[in-house]
């Protein structure tokens, strides 16, 4: 037991060292700082989905809706309400949280493919609203006329507007806070109850656990964090368009979670890193880059059903 805990702590330290030093070693292997920022942001999105999928056992194909709501939340705030990056992030996360909390009661009694299909349907509703509401969202052209702004802390100013490295560390701090909260929730009695529901929902109901209520809370938390990731992604690009809400974006999050390992905490982050790097490299080589990503995904599912991290853990214990 002590050896397993030591290995787990060692793995956590290794992950944080890699993340903290990424802007320094990534260019040395042909990458760039913005690529690392995208890995961290999409890693947060995939980990948010995995909070629901890997730990509660409920598959959502509609998380792009809340990712996109977070992105539009920060963009609309900066353009129409107030020139404040911090306020935009808060609004983006709150919009996703409120939308998830309101939609949750309508879908939590569904399971399996029915739950997944209904989440897609809701995501498409938000997509078409953003696509058609040209006067506010910019429609298919996207929401422009805004940019991320420096953050004034009183004693200093973080110039995340012009410094890509400083913006990376800004994103990393928010990522660290978000995943720390997720880890704390999962280690709590509530988190253990979610795992019990994932393993055997019927037995959990028999024990008197309010399963639907727990799934609703898990769903809402997941939507809030993926909304935060969407807000950060919009700030990275200084742009947002309806594609952030499209169902294929949800598919990308599922692929990231499965690639890295659904039932592991850091698995989705590893999956996001693989997906983003493959996308960046292959898209510069061919227009059919998704075909190669699809083949790679199929091979992982066939030969490593527990994902990359699951395969590594299995090999380490064998």
What residue ranges do the domains of the chain occupy?
2-317
- Let me know the angle formed at the C-alpha of 227 by 120 and 310, rounded to the nearest 5 degrees: 75
Give the three-state DSSP class for 313: helix
Instruction: Calculate mean pLDDT across residues 125-138.
Output: 92
Contact 105, 118 (CB under 8 A): no
Residue 311 is encoded by which pair of tokens? 């395969």
pTM, full prediction: 0.95
**Confidence (pLDDT) at 318:** 56
Q: Quick one: fold of 2-317?
A: ABC transporter involved in vitamin B12 uptake, BtuC (1.10.3470)
Q: Which residues pair with 143 in a beta bridge?
A: 240
Name the nearest CA neighbour of 276 among 289, 262, 295: 289
Examine the pLDDT at 196 and tell me if it is beyond 70.
Answer: yes
Examine the pLDDT at 1 and tell me if it is beyond 60.
Answer: no
Which tens digit of pLDDT belongs to each residue from 221-244?
999 999 999 999 999 999 999 999
Confidence band (pLDDT; 50, 70, 90) for 6? confident
Instruction: Calculate mean pLDDT across residues 55-71.
Output: 94
More confident residue, 145 or 314: 145
Examine the pLDDT at 37 and tell me if it is beyond 80.
Answer: yes
Other beta carbons within 10 Å of 151? 17
**Confidence (pLDDT) at 300:** 85
Sign of CA dihedral 129, 225, 101, 106: positive
**Confidence (pLDDT) at 12:** 86
**Confidence (pLDDT) at 253:** 95
Dihedral angle of Cα 268, 270, 271, 276, to the nearest 10 degrees? 120
Contact 62, 120 (CB under 8 A): yes
**Confidence (pLDDT) at 317:** 61
The rounded mean pLDDT for the chain is 91
**Confidence (pLDDT) at 293:** 84
**Confidence (pLDDT) at 2:** 60
Task: Quote the CA–CA distance of 105 and 108 in Å, as a whole number.
Answer: 6
**Confidence (pLDDT) at 3:** 67
Which tens digit of pLDDT belongs to each residue from 249-306?
999 999 999 999 888 899 999 999 999 999 998 888 888 888 888 888 888 888 887 8
């Amino acid at each position: 037991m002590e050896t397993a805990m030591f290995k787990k702590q060692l793995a956590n330290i290794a992950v944080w060292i890699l993340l903290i030093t990424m802007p320094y070693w990534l260019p040395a292997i042909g990458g760039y700082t913005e690529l690392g920022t995208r890995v961290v942001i999409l890693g947060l999105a995939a980990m948010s989905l995995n909070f629901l999928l890997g730990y509660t056992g409920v598959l959502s194909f509609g998380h792009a809706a809340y990712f996109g709501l977070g992105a539009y939340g920060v963009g609309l705030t900066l353009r129409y309400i107030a020139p404040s990056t911090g306020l935009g992030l808060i609004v983006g996360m709150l919009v996703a949280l409120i939308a998830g909390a309101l939609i949750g009661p309508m879908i939590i009694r569904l399971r399996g493919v029915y739950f997944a299909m209904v989440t897609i349907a809701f995501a498409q509703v938000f997509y078409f609203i953003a696509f058609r509401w040209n006067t506010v969202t910019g429609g298919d052209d996207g929401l422009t006329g805004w940019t991320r702004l420096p953050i004034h802390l009183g004693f200093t100013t973080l110039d995340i507007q012009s410094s890509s490295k400083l913006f990376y560390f800004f994103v990393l701090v928010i990522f660290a806070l978000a995943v720390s909260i997720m880890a704390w929730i999962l280690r709590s009695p509530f988190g253990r109850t979610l795992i019990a529901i994932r393993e055997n929902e019927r037995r959990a109901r028999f024990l008197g656990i309010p399963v639907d209520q727990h799934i609703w809370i898990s769903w809402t938390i997941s939507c809030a964090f993926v909304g935060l990731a969407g807000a950060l992604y919009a700030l990275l690009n200084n742009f947002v368009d309806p594609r952030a809400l499209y169902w294929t974006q949800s598919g990308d999050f599922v692929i990231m979670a499965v690639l890295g390992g659904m039932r592991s905490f850091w698995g989705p982050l590893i999956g996001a890193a693989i997906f983003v790097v493959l996308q960046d490299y292959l898209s510069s080589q061919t227009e059919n880059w998704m075909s190669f990503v699809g083949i790679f995904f199929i091979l992982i599912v066939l030969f490593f059903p527990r994902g990359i991290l699951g395969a590594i853990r299995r090999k380490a214990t064998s």
